[in-house]
Amino acid sequence: MTKKRVLAAMSGGVDSSAAVKLLLDKGYEVAGATMHLYNNEDIGIREKNCCSLNDVEDARLVALKLGIDFHVFNFSDEFKMRVMDDFVNTYLSGGTPNPCIECNKHLKFGRFLERAELLGFDYIATGHYVTSHYDEASGRWLLKRSADRAKDQSYVLYGMTQHQLAHTIFPVGDMNKTDIRALAEENGLINAHKRDSQDICFIPDGDYAKFITEAAGEQPAGDIVLSDGTVLGKHRGLIHYTVGQRRGVGVSYSEPLFVTSKDMAQNKLIMGTAEQLCSKTLTAGEVNFITVDKLTSPLKCTAQTRYHQQDVPCTVFQIDENTVKVEFDKPHKAISKGQAVVFYDGEYVVGGGKIL
């Protein structure tokens, strides 16, 4: 019997490295590949060394240690257009982007899977903390939360298609981080104790506003106002603020105020009370469903509107092929345009979309 061939997406981190070892132990024929996603100049770094190059080298050394072939795919043009430019444009239109979701949709499970299939691989594998399986009853592939809820990454994978799920393996999805590091250490992998990356990969210093300013120029200052139009002060450019923000706005009032919205047309930052920050409904576009093709009737489920947020009860109504309306059972806090809303049935991902 011919061994099934798997191309593992190796980021240079311990999760994807452990995934390779687990696949080898299960008898798969494995090769590794790292995506080269940006050049130093694209992210404002002028030195020759940068995190991306170090990560490629770490992945290469792990592949060498485990005795597998290793490739580097240059997807930098597509990453700039699909992820970096989208990040800037979403902020400039008043939204709060989630670049990991766009990267997963267009790069990891888009271009990377296409390249793997072109090279004759049966599957790709990643180090994401989720699990998947084929459900005979519905005839569909399902995506399930990780057993390690603190590490669960299902929120950023709601966009996966049936084809992508059928051709992707998540070897570490039912493990916890301690066991993964122990596995890496036992097998002498150099990144066994490498710290997890916390920041957006193309903004290593975490200064989003500087990155957007370098890409789009200085943004004009404007008024900070209450919902009734009362002027409270001046803002430094709307890209410096996010919906739900309380600290660092620079205004004082008789009760705590939060950023409730951004009026891009009039360049105003709208402030309000905790109560005004909550909303009972939202509309989402670019909708993708995993458990069904589309909704034929209103769906009672739970939803998350931010990464690692507790999901809350709601009802989802399909408006058209790409759009849904979500009604929450109770007013929901700090819903941000540009973020994802992801629907769950227990531990399973029903689907999701981008908040409009």
What is the CATH code for 5-127+171-186? 3.40.50.620
Block mean pLDDT (10 aa), the chain, length 356: 91 93 97 89 50 78 95 96 96 94 96 98 97 97 92 96 98 92 91 80 89 94 95 96 93 93 96 95 98 96 94 97 97 94 98 97
Tell me whether domains 5-127+171-186 and 278-355 share a fold.
Answer: no
The C-alpha angle 16, 82, 219, rounded to 5 degrees, equals 115
Topology annotation, domain 278-355: Elongation Factor Tu (Ef-tu); domain 3 (2.40.30)
Q: Is 100 an active-site residue?
A: no
Torsions phi, psi for 142 (to 5 deg): -120, 150
Q: With contact defined as beta carbons under 8 Å apart, do 283 and 323 qualify?
A: yes
Q: Is the pTM of this model over 0.85?
A: yes
Which residues belong to the annotated binding site? 9-16, 35, 127
What is the distance between the alpha carbons of residues 323 and 297, in angstroms, rounded to a whole number? Answer: 14
Of the candidates 51, 100, 103, 314, the residue annotated as catalytic is 103
Of the candidates 50, 51, 100, 201, the residue annotated as catalytic is 201
Q: With contact defined as beta carbons under 8 Å apart, do 309 and 298 qualify?
A: no
| pLDDT at position 50 | 39
| pLDDT at position 55 | 84
| pLDDT at position 51 | 41
CATH 2.30.30.280 fits domain 218-272: yes
Q: Is 51 an active-site residue?
A: no
| pLDDT at position 42 | 61
State the SS3 of 285-314: EEEEECCCCCCCCCEEEEEECCCCCCCEEE
Identity of the residue numbered 249:
V
Domain ranges of the chain: 5-127+171-186, 218-272, 278-355
The C-alpha angle 120, 10, 40, rounded to 5 degrees, equals 115
